[in-house]
Amino acid sequence: MARDLLARGLAELGEEPEPAALQRLVHLAERVAAWTRRVDLTSHETPEAVAGRLILDSAALLRAAPDFESLADLGSGAGFPGLPIAILRPACRVTLVESRERRHHFQRAVIRELGLVNARALRGRAERLETEPHAAAVAQATTPPPDALLLLLRWVEPGGLLLLPGGEVPPQLPEIPQVAGFKTVSYQVPAAGRRRSLWIGRRAAD
């Protein structure tokens, strides 16, 4: 059931993953659901719920954002949106940043199981870890948007993308000199999913 849901939803987005990539997404949905029964990963306890509410949500965000070659996923929790993005874009380097030990262990385990050579998991708080530049960074429901924006700036190279997902109403952010410009876009999560918004900014050149 999760496979059919993912295939249908990805087709709605115009994604045509290789069979191996689709199988990795199915495996991810199954592993999240299995771990959630033992560890507080998410509120979604079945592979179908994980596929519809987390994986397709991540894929829709990916399609709404401009292209990027590397991504820092701050406060990534169970690995969303970073893990689906790493699967769908194998040429993209993805760094998952998560401070909670059990969620970090899950990320490491599933990266190993899926053979995701383009993904790695770091344990720690995004504001304290030593950073390295990425072409884009995303923070989803970690802290209030103004605080999240300051975290994103630490992990993005000059000219890089700053991504803040929101509900139907986009996040409200103050204008700061470190951000060269921004826009908001609306998008629909496929397979009868919810409407979302994405705030997209760029870090100003140093």
Output the CA angle 192-143-55, nearest 5 degrees: 30
CB 151 within 8 A of CB 127: yes
Q: Please report the pLDDT score of residue 122 as a whole number.
A: 97
Quote the pLDDT of residue 150: 93
User: What average pLDDT does this structure show over 112-122?
Assistant: 97
**% of the chain residues with pLDDT over 90:** 82
Structure-model confidence comparison of residues 194 and 118, the more confident one: 118
What is the reported pLDDT for 126? 92
Confidence at residue 27, expressed as pLDDT on a 0 to 100 scale? 97
pLDDT tops 80 at residue 192: no
Query: How much is the pTM?
Result: 0.95
Higher pLDDT, 142 or 149: 149
* Ordered domains of the chain (ranges, CATH): 2-203 (3.40.50.150)
Tokens of 8: 């249908």
Instruction: Provide the mean pLDDT of the chain.
Output: 93
* pLDDT surpassing 80 at residue 94: yes
Res 172: pLDDT: 84
Average pLDDT over residues 33-52: 86
Radius of gyration of the chain (CA): 16
Q: Assess contact for 140 and 163: CB atoms under 8 A.
A: no
For 139-168, what is the mean pLDDT?
91
- pLDDT given at position 191: 84
Residues in the chain, overall count? 206
- The H or E element containing residue 5 is helix 2-13
Q: Which two tokens stand for residue 66?
A: 């401009």
**The amino acid at 125:** R
SS3 track for 107-152: HHHHHHHHCCCCEEEEECCCCCCCCCCEEEEEECCCCCHHHHHHHH
What's the token pair of residue 175?
A: 């204008």
pLDDT range class, residue 205, cuts 50, 70, 90: confident
Instruction: Give SS3 for 97.
Output: strand
Percent of the chain with pLDDT over 70: 99
pLDDT at position 196 over 80: yes
